Amino acid sequence: MSVKAQRLLKIREIITGEIIETQDELVEALRDAGFSVTQATISRNIKEMRLIKLPLADGRYRYALPTEPTTFNPEVKLQRLLNDVFVAIDFAENLVVMRTMPGNAHAVAWLFDSLDWLELLGTVAGDDTILLIARSRQGAEALVERIQSLL
């Protein structure tokens, strides 16, 4: 595999796994991964891959593959669903526990996992309970406040 092909695969991996807002951030991420690149090379690669910029919920933009759906907004869907099925929420340390109406926890957790919320590490769902794992205690507090603002 050529160096260019390896770099294009790495770009795909980086932009699907991280929020990359600028070409400079992409150059730095590639350099951190061991690729020697310039901004001009990355600019050409972005054009070749036909990368697009998708809006994030907080008003920022991120690079994405053109095949990613652009009409799906998980935060809007989450807000609608929470208004129908939310029961309660609380946290301890970096763990947030949310209760929903029976049978809805998986759908809500899936929407949380679709968000680009930096403070959220992941979720575990049962039938009517979701464990949201925050990166820190402060992240858990922020998650609770953010979720309550959607209600």
CA–CA separation, 95 and 140 (whole Å)? 6
Written as tens digits, the pLDDT of the chain (151 aa) is: 888 889 999 999 999 999 999 999 999 999 999 999 999 999 999 988 889 888 888 888 999 988 655 556 788 889 999 999 999 999 999 999 999 999 999 999 999 988 889 999 999 999 999 999 999 999 999 999 999 999 9
Q: What is the pLDDT of residue 13?
A: 93
Joined together, the tokens standing for residue 142 give 């922020």
Joined together, the tokens standing for residue 66 give 């053109």
Q: What is the pLDDT of residue 72?
A: 65
Q: What is the pLDDT of residue 48?
A: 87
Q: What is the pLDDT of residue 141?
A: 96
Fill in the amino acid letter for 35.
F
Q: What is the pLDDT of residue 69?
A: 53
CA–CA separation, 3 and 12 (whole Å)? 14
Q: What is the pLDDT of residue 59?
A: 84
Q: What is the pLDDT of residue 67?
A: 67
- How are the residues of the chain apportioned to helix, strand and coil, as percentages rounded to the nearest 5? 50, 20, 30
* Structural domains for the chain: 3-64 (1.10.10.10), 74-150 (3.30.1360.40)
